[in-house]
Amino acid sequence: MANFIKIQSSGTGINNIGSYLINAGSVLTVLQMNQTTTDIYLEENADEGQKTKVTITHTATGTGKALMKDAINKALTANPGGNPTNVVLPAGISVSNIVFLTT
């Protein structure tokens, strides 16, 4: 059974609000690009080498730490069990946009 992480977005657009499920088994890496953007790279099709980049736009806490990346990694390593694991957003951070791009 696949394991998923769930990220809640509070964006205003119809495509940017609500919960997003990401297959934890397809995550290659998580990179916090800056204080307000974190990228998750997924391997979608190993045969063709296609990858999907999930770009998450979020608020910053001003601490200079990669808090969002750490929260996602914590959810990815949580105890599996078939239920989605919520990404518990660090204090002061809210997600406003999630975009999936295939490369």
pLDDT digits (tens, 9 = 90+) for 60-69: 877 777 789 9
Position 15 confidence tier, pLDDT thresholds 50, 70, 90: confident
Asked if pLDDT for residue 46 goes beyond 60, the answer is no
- What average pLDDT does range 10-27 have in this prediction? 84
Q: Give phi and psi for 24, each to the nearest 5.
A: -65, -30
Strand partners, 27: 42
Question: 10-14, 46-50, 86-90: lowest mean pLDDT where?
Answer: 46-50
Res. 49 pLDDT band, cuts 50 70 90: low
| Domain carrying residue 97 | 4-102
User: How many structural domains comprise the chain?
Assistant: 1
| 71-93 confidence digits (pLDDT tens) | 999 998 886 666 678 888 888 88
How crowded is the C-beta side of 91, counted as CA atoms within 13 Å?
1
Q: DSSP class of residue 90?
A: P
